[in-house]
Structure 1
């Protein structure tokens, strides 16, 4: 790989040295250059003249001890060389192309344990809080799912940094306290997820609320790492809420207040929440989460929490589906309901509706 060239500024050399130090602390492994594509071609010049041109380089990497599959990232680089001596190629500029990686965060602190890799920016109290709550989340997920996935937690200094890490805009994260991100290939288990905390919303939560959010996201990471088929969002989000609220002493009507407000204004829902209701900016996100939690609690109260786990595992790859139904996630849930608890969807909806009516009294 090319070295920093003669035209590289002192600040670039200092910045890249800091980035490399953070990568070492994170234990970046299997760093591979995949492709290099010219963005601007070098301008023809006579021998002895050094010219610059821009490229976009694509890489893959793993975090040792946490990633079982690679993640990718791109860098925008400016090369400088004498066309007659390209072996003396140097880099004079480097910046993330699109989404940065955690090692690009200035002031990053790395804390590693058996069940978590915390990558945080902030004072020691903030870092230790994330470490402590990550441990709590791991124990809560394991109590329900039977184990928890060692997770990478990223806690940036600002909402803008969180948005860039996730490839979203700040508006898309309004009201979101954390999000799970990672490559997911149909038919395969996820192996390189990141949980990114969004500092504005996360810091506004009470302590129990922070534990709920972190347990919710770790549930997603753990489930994604041990299943191979996608499920409807009402099932994935409802299950994550079920696990997250399991140890929390909070009246159910309080936990699902936005859902009850929506029912009061729009009437009793006839169907379980559709995927579109979970879109940021839809205006129905909080209600959809609450309604999904109530659906899963309806099953858990009648058949037990482990029955919900069996249901999820079956729908997410544990049962064989006919070829013509492989892309029908709702159909897979219907089959899993019957196979695990002997319940059809219409019966579940009726029981769910009755639960909602009871909460409205």
Structure 2
């Protein structure tokens, strides 16, 4: 999560808008109905080439609407479409969004009057108001309504420090750049991600994106503006380096990757090279160990749940970090990286034997011994 290259700056960037309208979206319509649908599709195409105020400055590499259906009711039409877009210089695979577009006919001409998320679909940041942009050396920060230029520039600078930190920890291939979204509030963040606000309360940031092999996904680090603002300088450095590491390791991460390994590796990358002691960085786990509650197993998936017991979640993250820290110290940083890469494509027991020469029980015992030693 460390070197500032150069100060970022707010810059206006004109989006490139492209609309692909697919023909034949259902049973064929004859005569005037056919003509009306073509006119509605043409109106969507014409509108898509414009630059709505809320999108001004967002550097789209492409922005494609694929029309799925047109439902007309007199002088009004509802269009269901799938939006696919990429941000120039950042996305190698498109972000997708189901959209509902409204068109109206006035004086014989169809025009788009509204565009928003389809029912049940998540909104895009610009659905919540005008978006501001700050560009760093390795980062693009998009701010929601109400975010200040100064805040976005500070986050871009911190993200620029986080990218080299993630690269130093993870030598595997990745883009070496990151997109950060900063919604206007915690509630706006919750709506953007489709979960209750309480699930993110107290968190500094989260990462979205698909896992597994294939084209690099359109990862996003989403900052909780309230949680992030409550952190000190070191906390902000740690949280962004942690989340950027998730972006770096995304294509090596799979559903089979244990959460203790993915979360622990991200924290290990964030604390790597820092002078913070285990007791300082793992206070919740240290308290548990000192009262005799030494964990019996490595943290399970359920231990990392959002919105649960914050003390238990803290112990899970801290224990995961200390497990990865132990692996790097005892078996070497390369072994830790190799374990991460293997754990996403083969059983954990196999990955452990091939990289560390121990099974899960052996690693767990070594980890518990290290907790007794370092947190007593």
Normalised to the residue count of structure 1, the TM-score between the two structures is 0.81
Task: Between the two structures, name the one with larger relative contact order (CA 8 Å, sep ≥ 6).
Answer: 2
Aligned twin of 1:325:
none
Aligned twin of 1:133:
158
1: CA distance, partners of 2:224 / 2:141: 14
2: CA distance, partners of 1:54 / 1:105: 21
**How is 1:62-141 mapped onto 2 (pairs within 5 angstroms)?**
62-81=86-105, 88-97=109-118, 98-121=121-144, 122-141=147-166
Instruction: Measure how far apart 1:292 and its partner are.
Output: 0.7
Aligned twin of 1:29:
61
CA RMSD of aligned residues (A): 2.7
Instruction: Measure how far apart 1:340 and its partner are.
Output: 1.4
Q: Is the 8 A contact 2:55 2:130 kept in 1?
A: no
SS in structure 1 at match of 2:202:
coil
Structure 2: tracts of 5 or more residues without a match: 1-40
Aligned twin of 2:342:
314
2: CA distance, partners of 1:166 / 1:240: 21
Give CA deviations for 1:205-255 in whole Å, capped at 9, x if unaligned.
010110000000000000004556640111000100111111332221121
Q: Which of 299, 307, 313 is the matching residue for 1:281? A: 307
Instruction: Measure how far apart 1:36 and its partner are.
Output: 3.0
Aligned twin of 2:167:
142
Structure 1: tracts of 5 or more residues without a match: 9-13, 44-49, 322-331
Q: Is the 8 A contact 1:242 1:293 kept in 2?
A: yes
Give CA deviations for 1:96-133 in whole Å, capped at 9, x if unaligned.
34422233353422233452112125333212211110
Deviates more, 1:186-195 or 1:127-136: 186-195
Q: Which of 19, 31, 42 is the matching residue for 2:54? A: 19
Aligned twin of 1:304:
332
1: CA distance, partners of 2:277 / 2:165: 19
SS in structure 1 at match of 2:218:
coil
Instruction: Measure how far apart 1:353 and its partner are.
Output: 0.6
Give the number of equivalent residue pairs.
Answer: 324
Aligned twin of 1:59:
83
**Structure with greater helix share of residues:** 1
Q: Which of 348, 353, 356 is the matching residue for 1:341? A: 356
Change (3 A) 1:273 1:247: same
Normalised to the residue count of structure 2, the TM-score between the two structures is 0.78
Aligned twin of 2:323:
295
2: CA distance, partners of 1:78 / 1:124: 33
Q: Is the 8 A contact 1:178 1:198 kept in 2?
A: yes
Aligned twin of 1:352:
367
1: CA distance, partners of 2:84 / 2:203: 28
Instruction: Measure how far apart 1:79 and its partner are.
Output: 2.5
